[in-house]
């Protein structure tokens, strides 16, 4: 056995000096060993994942595998990592995984995945991931786990790997994304609250996106126009609340930077003076259904992103007693 180890070391040293690869004949000559013996050792090293093979025509070129040993990857990673073998037994785990599970490493090694069912991880899901990985589907998965009355979120990734004996396995990495996920959920909640406040406002109001599609149409706007939010959001039919034929509304002019056209389209409204908050206003006498005339005051407030780019416009409508 010691002689075989020495021969393997010699082969690996030769291949290390020839990173572009060598065929069996070249390796045999370099280490002064028969081709049959070389072939046997190359098969062992390839099965163990220490060599890789590239075909050039009918010839096979062997070179050292450029893989980071999984033990090194696991010890350096702040993420939880567990490696399972082909029988779904846990072969390796790193310290973050042990700390999270709360079970000594020596007890975890050798357990089947299903043995971890009481240790927080969604084992049935994990078994499904491994089947998906074999089928070549997306190896990434998002999960949430409740621990100590706290919900934690993880990006899980299945990574095919090889053991030293050449057997296939899968490394599962769990990246803690709880902070990022909580921020996203908080943003979604704030968005829902904002929508609720906007919809409940007693002032008729709608919001245009940069492409002039309606992003919001509140309840007061529904009452003012007779047009329901469900039929207006996502359309460019804001003009229907005011005019018998399509034409730009004040919010459209602001979105397109055409505020110099306000006096042209809103007769009696002069050029807009510079406003400290960037708002634009105009007045117009319109004929409502039934022939009744009413004077309306339109106010548009631009919405900027953190780069100062215009991304939306909010238009409110107020009826002025005639």
Domains of the chain (ranges plus CATH)? 2-64 (1.10.10.10), 70-176 (3.30.450.20), 198-320 (3.30.450.20)
33, HSE (Cβ side, Cα atoms, 13 Å): 20
Tell me the H-state helices in 136-279.
178-200, 219-225, 229-232, 250-255, 262-265
* Region of 102 on the Ramachandran plot (φ > 0 left; ψ -120 to 50 alpha; else beta): left
Task: Report the DSSP beta bridge partners of residue 208.
Answer: 214, 313
Buried b (16+ CB within 10 A) or exposed e, 166-178: eeebbbbbbbbbe
Phi then psi for 262, rounded to 5 degrees? -60, -45
- The whole-number pLDDT of residue 133 equals 52
Asked if 26 and 64 count as a contact pair (C-beta separation under 8 A), the reply is: no
- The whole-number pLDDT of residue 4 equals 65
- The whole-number pLDDT of residue 291 equals 60
| CA distance linking residue 171 with residue 71, whole number of Å | 11
Q: For residue 168, give both structure tokens.
A: 């296939």
Buried b (16+ CB within 10 A) or exposed e, 125-140: ebeebbeebeeeeebe
| CA distance linking residue 201 with residue 222, whole number of Å | 11
- The whole-number pLDDT of residue 274 equals 56
- Overall pTM > 0.75: no
Identify the DSSP state of 274. P
Query: Which residue in 170, 180, 169, 194 sits closest to 314, CA to CA?
Result: 194
Asked if 108 and 119 count as a contact pair (C-beta separation under 8 A), the reply is: no
Can you say how many angstroms the Cα of residue 144 is from the centroid of all Cα atoms in its chain? 15
Asked if 280 and 303 count as a contact pair (C-beta separation under 8 A), the reply is: no
129, HSE (Cβ side, Cα atoms, 13 Å): 26
Residues in the chain, pLDDT under 50: 1, 134-136
- The whole-number pLDDT of residue 73 equals 63
Tell me the angle at which helices 35-47 and 2-16 cross, rounded to the nearest 10 degrees: 80
- The whole-number pLDDT of residue 131 equals 60
pLDDT tens sequence across 148-185: 888 888 888 877 776 666 677 778 888 888 888 888 87
């Amino acid at each position: 056995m010691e002689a075989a180890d020495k021969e393997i070391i010699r082969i690996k040293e030769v291949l290390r000096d020839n990173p572009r690869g060598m065929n069996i004949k070249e390796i045999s000559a370099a280490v002064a060993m028969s081709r049959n013996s070389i072939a046997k050792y190359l098969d062992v090293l390839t099965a163990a994942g220490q060599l890789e093979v590239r075909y050039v025509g009918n010839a096979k070129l062997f070179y050292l595998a450029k893989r980071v040993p999984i033990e090194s990857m696991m010890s350096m990673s702040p993420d939880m990592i567990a490696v399972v073998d082909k029988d779904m037994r846990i072969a390796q785990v790193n310290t973050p995984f042990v700390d999270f599970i709360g079970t000594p490493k020596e007890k975890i090694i050798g357990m089947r995945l299903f043995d971890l069912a009481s240790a927080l991880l969604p084992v049935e899901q994990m078994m499904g991931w491994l089947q998906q990985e074999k089928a070549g589907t997306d190896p990434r998965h998002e999960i949430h786990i409740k621990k100590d009355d706290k919900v934690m979120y993880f990006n899980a990734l299945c990574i095919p790997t090889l053991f030293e004996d050449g057997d296939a396995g899968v490394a599962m990495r769990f990246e803690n994304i709880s902070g990022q996920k909580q921020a996203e959920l908080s943003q979604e909640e704030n968005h829902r609250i904002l929508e609720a406040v906007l919809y409940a406002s007693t002032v008729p109001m709608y919001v245009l996106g940069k492409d002039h599609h309606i992003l919001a149409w509140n309840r007061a706007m529904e009452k003012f126009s007779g047009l329901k939010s469900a039929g207006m959001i996502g359309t460019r039919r804001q003009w229907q609340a005011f005019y018998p034929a399509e034409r730009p509304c004040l919010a459209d002019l602001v979105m397109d930077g055409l505020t110099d056209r306000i006096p042209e389209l809103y007769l009696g409204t002069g050029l807009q003076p510079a406003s400290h908050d960037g708002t634009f206003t105009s007045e117009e006498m319109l004929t409502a259904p039934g022939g009744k005339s009413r004077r309306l005051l339109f106010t548009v407030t631009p919405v900027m992103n953190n780069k100062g780019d215009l991304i939306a416009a909010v238009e409110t409508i107020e009826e002025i007693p005639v």
